[in-house]
Structure formats: structure tokens, C-alpha cells
Amino acid sequence: MPVDNASELLKYYEVYETIGSGGFAKVKLGRHILTGEKVAIKIMDKKDLGDDLPRVKMEMEAMKNLSHQHVCRLYHIIETASRIYMVIEYCPGGELFDYIVAKDRLSEEETRVFFRQIISALAYVHSQGYAHRDLKPENLLIDEGHNLKLIDFGLCARPKGGLGYELMTCCGSPAYAAPELIQGKAYIGSEADVWSMGVLLYALLCGYLPFDDDNCMVLYRKITSGHYKNPHWLSPGSILLLNQMMQVEPKRRLTVRQLLDHPWVMKGYSSPVEWHSTRPLGHIDEDCITEMAVSLRRSKQSTVQLVSEWKYDQTTATYLLLLAKKQRGRPVRLRAEA
Ligand SMILES: COc1cc(O)cc(Nc2ccc(C(=O)Nc3ccccc3)c(OCCC[NH3+])c2)c1
């Protein structure tokens, strides 16, 4: 097996320290040389992937179709003989999980800011026909603007007939999994995601889980019973919302659409959750095209055509990172091509 010399990766990125590792992947910090933008680089050895390879392919396909202010963005895929590299949006605030642990629990007001972003992300993901199926604080990262980004679409599903169709594969983390999912029943992905959002909301407001036990059979019984304690500091509004989301019967559960303007979600706000993407797929930004055309010594028109192929190669990465740079208020400039 040819040893991977990462030459393809190092052509376009400086690679720094490892910032996360788990399962079959590790994540390193990186910097895109042409734009100077920082990135996260998820590195997977194909030999370690085994039968997880289809899951990785599924995630990459999903991420190519998802572009949203609260979903971590995929910029570049580099596949070599032995490895897959995914270049992803940089989220230096770390995991929401660690943030909750550090603060013990969040106030209702701070929870509401984050929860509105989670609703925005899921409303968008569902509108694209996907269910995430592994919602938990570890899969929500905080970016440099202190905003949440949904990550890890390795377990997401896009049923052929649309989200209304039933899924069978049991997956995700038990503590956040809906009763119908752990009972192996046919379930609707978006309904299972709402249950997990309820568990997430509870974790934000309480600092611990509504259903927890070291023995997984006891844990399953707690989840399928749907009984959990409401600590004294929860407001009546929070207690009601949690109850409406953690309904054992999926059809009695709130939908993500109903969450958009739910009274608890609206408290202190004058408008429902804005869930449409502010960075729609296929959007072509004039300034970025102009800078790339100059750098690539191509006409603007041929640059638009090249970018619009969305191959998730160096061209896609350069365009998206230049756009990210512009959105951060930095000059829309590329380093002179070496
Ligand atoms: C869709 O986005 C995905 C998919 C996926 O499968 C994995 C990830 N993982 C990421 C993405 C970004 C970071 C990151 O930027 N972390 C970071 C940067 C600077 C300082 C500290 C952290 C990432 O971090 C690794 C885990 C952090 N505990 C993982 C995104």
C-alpha cells in the first residue's frame, strides 16, 4: 500500500496540531494557503474505515447539499490511495458539550439564543430532506462569532421518498435517542430529531441528562417510559416545552415548524426563528469571482463556470473560503499564486 505522503493536501494547506480524535477520524487545524483562512481537516485512513466507509460517503454527499449559517461547511474533499481528507469550517469555540460542563448549566436566556440557532439548523436540514439522527451537544460546535454549527452528518438519512418515509436503522447515542428508535420500530427521522432536541434543551437548562443510567437496559426503560424530573429552577414555560418535545408518542410531539414560533422560543424576541440559509448553495459572489479570475488568469465568465461545477476541489475551497473571508469583513484577496 503506497504510504500516503499527504502531498496533495500540503499543496493547498499548511497543517498544524491535532485538535480532536475519535472513532475512525482525527481532526487537525490547518490554513488554506491561497486565502490564509484557518480550517479544520478531518483525516480518515481508508483501512481503518472498514464498513464505516459508506457512512463517510453518505456524510460527504449530505454536506455537499447543505449550506447554512448554523451548519458546519464542507470546503474540500481530497481522496488519495489510502486516505480521505475533509476540509471543514473552523470552529474554535469547541463543543457545546464542553461549554455546558464549564458553566454547569446555562440560564434560560442564554439557552434560548443557542436553541433558536439549533432550531434554525434543523429546520433547514429537514427542508433539504435530511434527518440528522445523532443530535447531541458534542455535535454542536461554537464558531469564532460564538454561534453554533451543526456537525457530523455521518448518521444522517435522506429517505428516498422524502422525510415522511420511515427509517429502520437504529443509530445515534442512546441517551439522546427517541423511544421508537431504540425500540427498533419504524420511525420518521424528523420526529426522532425533535425528541433529541428536547433532550438537548434539557441538557442546556439542567447541565445533566433527563434519562441516564450506566446500565443500558435501565436507560432504555427510562427513555421508553418518558418520565424525567424537572429541577426546581426550570420555569413553567421551559417545563411545558420540554414536555411537548419529549412525548413518547411521536405523533404527539411538536414539529420543528411549530418550534419556529413557539411561545417559549419567541420570549424576548419579536420574530420567529429565521431558518432560511443566508449562504444559499450555488450562490455566486461577484467580488470573489473577480479576485479568482485575476488570480487564475481566466475570464470572469470561465471562472463562474469553473466554480459552478462545485467539485469540492481546490476551486470550490478557494471560492468558499474567499466568501467566508468577505463575510468576516476581511479583504477579498488571494495570495499571489506561487
Ligand atoms: C460538518 O462538519 C463537520 C463534520 C464532521 O464529520 C466533523 C466535524 N468536525 C470538526 C470541525 C471543526 C472543528 C474545529 O474547528 N475545532 C477547533 C478549531 C480550533 C480550536 C478548537 C477546536 C472540530 O474540532 C474537533 C473537535 C473539537 N473538540 C471538529 C465537522
Q: Specify the pTM.
A: 0.93
Q: What is the pLDDT of residues 8-45, one digit of tens each?
A: 999 999 999 999 987 789 999 999 999 999 999 999 99
Q: Check pocket membership of 90 for ligand 1, CB cut-off 6 A.
A: yes
Triad 301, 306, 309: Cα angle to 5°: 125
Active-site residue, selected from the candidate residues 4, 48, 51, 134: 134
Q: Check pocket membership of 191 for ligand 1, CB cut-off 6 A.
A: no
Q: Let me know if 134 is a catalytic residue.
A: yes
Residue whose CA lies nearest to ligand 1 atom number 26:
20
Q: Check pocket membership of 134 for ligand 1, CB cut-off 6 A.
A: no
Q: Check pocket membership of 151 for ligand 1, CB cut-off 6 A.
A: yes
ipTM for this prediction? 0.93
Q: Check pocket membership of 95 for ligand 1, CB cut-off 6 A.
A: yes
Q: CA-CA distances (angstroms) from residue 140 to 87, 114, 151, 202, 267?
A: 17, 10, 6, 15, 23
Reading the block at residue 110, the C-alpha cell is: 442564554
304 or 152: which leads in pLDDT: 304
Rg (CA), the chain: 21
**Atom of ligand 1 at shortest distance to CA of 89?**
12
> Comparing C-alpha atoms, which of 47, 42, 58 is closest to residue 3?
47
**Atom of ligand 1 at shortest distance to CA of 71?**
1
Residue whose CA lies nearest to ligand 1 atom number 30:
151
Q: What is the pLDDT of residues 323-338, one digit of tens each?
A: 999 999 999 999 986 5
Give the pLDDT band (50/70/90) at residue 2.
Answer: very low
